[in-house]
Structures are given as structure tokens and as C-alpha cells.
């Protein structure tokens, strides 16, 4: 049996969902479903972060919008929500893993950080008022009305 035939060791990763609708355009007055690469609501796994950039971009692995195949792509943190720690067994995801922390506790700390950053970015990225009616994640969930 060769090394490629063996299943990789399960690993704790950050899982998240792509926002169903995102604000786009001048002052965020237009709405677009999901992202260019992922359908709205798609589950993705964070395999790398860019801490030097304040974690504004994340490298994610998920099923592509058009092909349904596993893709690896950089995604804005603001386009993700419901961050959670998840033990991943999927070989396609594990082969694409970067240098993220391995332990569950480290991943849970990263979950808290990424959730805070995503909320802040969604609240500040588009400075203009929301369109009426607005279907963006913040409006649908009541986020930011604290």
C-alpha cells in the first residue's frame, strides 16, 4: 500500500458558512448571492489565515459554485459566518490543510477571533445605509443591533 492510499489523520479545523446575500457595489446598495466561488450557505473549511493583514482574508476549502468540486480559494472573512470548530475526516480537505493549529483549544480560540473580525468587517466595510429591503447577513440575523 503506498502513502497516497492511506487516509490522512482527522484534524480540527474551523468550519464556516458563506453568507446567503452580500452587499456589493457603491456604498453596498446592491445584493449578490454568496460569493463568486461559493453558493450562499455553502460550508467551507478555513485552512490558512493571514494574521499580518488582520485576518481580513482566509484561505478556504469548499465545494465550488459551478462545478461542485473541492476548491481552495482566498475569501474575505466578512463573507463567512457561523464559525465553529469541527473535526474533519474528508481526505480532500485534509490534503489541502495549511499550517493552522492542530488542537481543538487552539481552533476554538481562532473561531472566536474570526467571528469577531467578520462581524466588525460586515459592519464597517460598506459605510452607506442598507438598501430597502435588505437581505444581507447583518439585516437577516439582526447582527449589529446590540
Which tens digit of pLDDT belongs to each residue from 85-143? 999 998 888 888 866 667 899 899 999 999 999 888 877 776 666 667 776 776 677 67
Give the model's pLDDT for residue 60: 92
Give the model's pLDDT for residue 97: 83
Range with top average pLDDT, 21-25, 32-36, 108-112: 108-112
The residue ranges of every structural domain in the chain are 11-141
Average pLDDT over residues 51-73: 87
E strands, the chain, where?
Answer: 11-18, 21-24, 30-33, 43-49, 57-63, 70-76, 80-88
Q: Is the pLDDT assigned to residue 58 strictly greater than 70?
A: yes
Cα end-to-end distance, the chain, whole Å: 56
pTM to 2 decimal places: 0.82
Give the model's pLDDT for residue 83: 93
Amino acid at each position: 500500500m503506498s502513502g497516497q492510499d492511506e487516509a490522512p489523520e482527522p484534524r480540527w479545523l474551523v468550519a464556516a458558512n458563506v453568507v446567503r446575500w452580500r452587499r456589493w457595489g457603491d456604498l453596498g446598495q446592491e445584493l449578490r448571492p454568496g460569493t463568486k466561488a461559493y453558493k450562499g450557505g455553502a460550508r467551507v473549511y478555513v485552512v490558512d489565515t493571514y494574521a499580518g493583514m488582520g485576518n481580513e482574508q482566509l484561505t478556504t476549502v469548499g465545494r465550488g459554485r459551478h462545478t461542485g468540486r473541492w476548491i481552495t480559494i482566498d475569501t474575505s472573512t466578512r463573507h463567512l459566518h457561523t464559525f465553529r470548530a469541527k473535526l474533519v475526516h474528508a481526505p480532500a480537505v485534509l490534503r489541502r490543510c495549511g499550517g493552522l493549529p492542530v488542537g481543538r483549544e487552539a481552533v476554538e480560540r481562532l473561531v472566536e477571533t474570526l467571528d469577531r473580525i467578520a462581524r466588525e468587517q460586515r459592519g464597517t466595510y460598506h459605510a452607506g445605509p442598507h438598501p430597502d429591503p435588505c437581505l444581507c447577513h447583518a439585516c437577516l440575523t439582526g447582527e449589529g443591533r446590540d
